[in-house]
Structure 1
């Protein structure tokens, strides 16, 4: 029986995030927990475990602050901690709570109403960076199994309808998601060769066909995510994806990233 690639699995990532939560609760009991301290702990634990946040090719300076979305999702939906520690969530995850509310508005309201309510909720901070953070939260929900791909697809469509000026960003995010999903499937052992990879890519692109062919990610971009996020090695990837072309290739893929300011 063929062995599944190792890399960083969902189970391992959840286990690591639960370790982070254990540290957070200790700090909370001491009265020393802040959002900034949560970011520090997250970074310390990830460094110790040698994993990176959920991401594309870019490495923005506030990457770990953005990774609080994963911590929020696992803590709220996986561990059920929000009901026991509502003040902790309000203090540390105030941004994620607002983004989640904005997502609910976009998914349930008519475009014109949704636009008005989201702008009111998020105020002057509503820009490409805010949208990227909001979409990251939905990505975390989908990746950890607390939401589904259809919900993400609907969110991108509703975002484009309510904020047509950001439709290009929705397209870029769909491209990132497809690359991320394929890398995830490689780690799970569901994609083992180039033929399956290409079939998966085309099937996923069809799900976002309303955004056009621009949602198809380059194989080098998929490889960057597979290497950086899922810790998959060359032996596994060489039979599925072409090798990256060093810094130049990474700069090219960074250009395809949704803005992360």
Structure 2
């Protein structure tokens, strides 16, 4: 059964190669870095980690390159030297470290970024979620961070609902890819459990979003995804028996 990191092997390999370009001095601006990442992904037919939106998606995907450098390659000293390339991610990581030590998210964000807006808040959370996806952060730690931010920024309540929906959809897609979810009953059970963990029944994602992430981002064969999202005959009979009881 593949691990979370196995699902992103090609993504990580590209990030490692990009770090080679960074360290040999071939990249001097963030814009060049974004373009390098876009070209590499398109050549490898890889989609950024995303939900339905593609706005600034390759700039956001620099979170992957940053995390692979910091946690995968241990390039802390090198990151310090090229922090201008990762200005958003570097600052977001500083906020996350402070929040994980118990500091108020609003206070930490204001002090590090010197301002607070919707984009900054969710770029921080995207970095944390990407760390979970790549196996660099425990899911339980991420959920604590997410709920702390939600409590600290009530004005972004609708955005948090959408972000939770995206995260749950990603986790369901990941579970399908790993073979942990094989039919609709298992999918619905996990979806319900995730909603409870996030204290939000309204965050249940639609099947089309789960399918989009599974097929496009995680490259799960479409027939496997369809099996997990559809009521197989055996599952349907089981469901009818449960209803009859």
Query: Which TM-score band (shorter chain)?
Result: 0.7 to 0.9
1:78 pairs with 2:78 = no
1:223, 1:237 within 8 Å by CA — same for their partners in 2?
yes
1:209-255 Cα distance to aligned partner (Å, 9 max, x none): 2xx2111111121111112211233222221226xxxxxxxxxxxxx
CA-to-aligned-CA distance 1:86-111 (integer Å, 9 cap, x gap): 212x1211211111112233333454
- TM-score normalised over the length of structure 1: 0.80
Deviation at 1:12? 2.6
Aligned residues: 227
Does 1:167 find its partner at 2:157?
yes
Q: How does 1:114-193 map to 2 (within 5 A)?
A: 114-124=105-115, 126-193=116-183
Residues 8 and 218, structure 2, Cα contact 8 Å, conserved in 1: no
Partner residue in 2 for 1:218: 206
Shift of 1:63: 0.9
- Report how far residue 119 of structure 1 moved: 1.6
CA pair 86-227 structure 1, distance change in 2 beyond 3 A: same
CA distance in 1, matches of 2:223, 2:106: 47
Greater relative contact order (Cα 8 A, min sep 6): structure 1 or 2? 1
In the alignment, the residues of structure 2 paired with residue 171 and residue 108 of structure 1 have an alpha-carbon distance, to the nearest angstrom, of: 25
CA contact (8 A) 1:100 1:134 kept: yes
Q: Is the 8 A contact 1:69 1:137 kept in 2?
A: yes
- Does 2:84 align with 1:94? no
User: Following the alignment from structure 2 to structure 1, what is the Cα–Cα distance between the partners of residues 81 and 95?
Assistant: 20
For the 8 Å contact 2:70–2:79, the answer to whether it is kept is no
Distance 1:238 1:184 in 2: 14
Over the aligned positions, Cα root-mean-square deviation in angstroms equals: 2.0
Alpha carbons 1:184, 1:226 under 8 Å: kept: yes
Structure 1: distance between partners of 2:38 and 2:23: 16
Greater alpha carbon shift after TM alignment, 96-105 vs 43-52: 96-105
Query: Residue 106 of structure 1 aligns with which residue?
Result: 99
* CA displacement 1:128-155 (0-9 Å, x = unmatched): 1112211110011111111111112111
Aligned to 2:219: 231
Structure 2 unaligned residues grouped into runs of 5+: 231-245
Equivalent of 1:52, from 47, 54, 63?
47
**Could you list the runs of 5+ residues in structure 1 that have no partner in the other structure?**
243-261
- Determine if contact 1:159/1:167 at 8 Å carries over to the other structure: no
4+ residue segments displaced more than 6 Å? none
Kept in 2, the 8 Å contact 1:191–1:197? The answer is: yes
Check conservation: 2:164, 2:198, Cα contact below 8 A. Answer: yes
Provide the rounded CA distance (Å) in 2 between the counterparts of 1:166 and 1:214. Answer: 15
